[in-house]
Amino acid sequence: MPITLWPANAVTGAPSYSGRMLRQALGVLLGGATTSRPLGGRSGVRPGTSGIGAATSTTWTVNPHAGALDLEAGSSAGPYYYSVDDATNTGTVTAADATNPRIDLVYVTLNDPAEGDGSSAPGAVFGYVAGTAAASPVAPATPARSMPLFQISVPKSGTGSPTTADAAPFTAAAGAPIPVRNATERGALTQYDGLLVNRLDQNYLERSDGTSWVPQVDTVTVAQTGIVGGTAPVGARLIRYAGSYVDVTSGGGHFQVNFPAAFPNGVLGITVTNGDDTAVANVTFGRTAVTTSSATYRVRNATNSATINSTNMRVDYIAVGW
């Protein structure tokens, strides 16, 4: 295979380019190349894409979006790009089952006769497959040379309207973190040392060393019981808030620290200290209540245990949660 240099003006008819050669050259811009597909890329929609499709009880619709497809059998076929600029791509939703719910799938199929895939015309074609109704339904398998776009949850007849959920993976530029919705999507990637993923379900980056994934934030290494929220599991992201909070103690000596944002799951620990002992000196703090968004303390004189009432105070704090 010749070396492709692109773009270059032709001199005496050369170079000339095939679609495959252009895909290969442009593949350098797309992440997801592997040893087995060195000229390929990650199939997916652009990061930030949401609401890929919609559905009623009778009709599914693909909404405007753009993506990349590296789905041909040939390892050197290169990635294709496609776009949808209106919501006129529709199809029929199979009638709801009378007894059980069902999960259907809408997908995009890549066709290119030049790659010997058996199709008759090049193009990206949307398709639909109804799942099997069951008490606990699962989505049907994605057909060959296809990428899932969205799932349609169809309740049993007479119990509501269908809902949709995006199912397309996200593509990414070469070297950029690849967004993944969960560990299952991450597990489908071919790892190499330095590969970064953006765990959308955990809100942190993970880096591969070629065999395992290392979170790029502090995580729980041993399961710990929090003071709110139950037990923090191994692998949960640790979140720290620290700062100074100024307020007036209540008539009963209570002082409440409000965190900048609520901890998503729970609180492991809080430390508070007097932030200005020139204003109020020699005090102790006894925690009386804590939630994922705040902690309340009763402030007392350390000498005689009298409550410090209706007094302006500054409290420094560090809170750790997950």
pLDDT of residue 2: 74
Q: Are residues 184 and 167 in the same domain?
A: no
Q: Is the pLDDT of residue 96 over 90?
A: yes
Is the distance from CB of 195 to CB of 187 less than 8 angstroms?
Answer: no
pLDDT tens per residue across span 206-245: 999 999 998 898 989 999 999 999 999 998 889 999 999 9
Give pLDDT tens digits for 113-125.
999 999 999 999 9
Q: Which of 148, 172, 196 is the last residue of a domain?
A: 172
Whether 73 shows a pLDDT value over 80: the answer reads: yes
Task: Work out whether the CA dihedral 256, 259, 265, 266 comes out positive or negative.
Answer: negative
Residues 163, 65 within the same domain: yes
Q: Is residue 234 part of a domain?
A: no
Report the chain's C-alpha Rg in angstroms.
Answer: 28
Token pair of 146 as six digits: 């296809």
Burial class (CB in 10 A: 0-12, 13-18, 19+), 258: middle
Q: Under a CB-based contact definition with an 8 Å cutoff, are residues 168 and 106 in contact?
A: no
pLDDT value, residue 279:
85
CB crowding 183-220: b at 16 or more within 10 Å, else e: eebbeebebeeebbbbbeebebebebeeeebebeeebb
Residue where the block lists tokens 């925690």: 287
**Confidence band (pLDDT; 50, 70, 90) for 321?**
very high
132 occurs within a structural domain: yes
Q: What DSSP string describes 63-123?
A: PSEEEEE---SSTTS--EEEEE-SS-EEEEPPPPPSSS-EEEEEEEEEE-GGGTSS-SS-E
Domain count, the chain: 3
Residues 254-288 pLDDT 10s: 999 999 999 999 999 999 999 998 889 999 999 99
Q: Do residues 55 and 192 share a domain?
A: no
The domain of 191 spans 177-217
Residues 190 and 164 in one domain: no
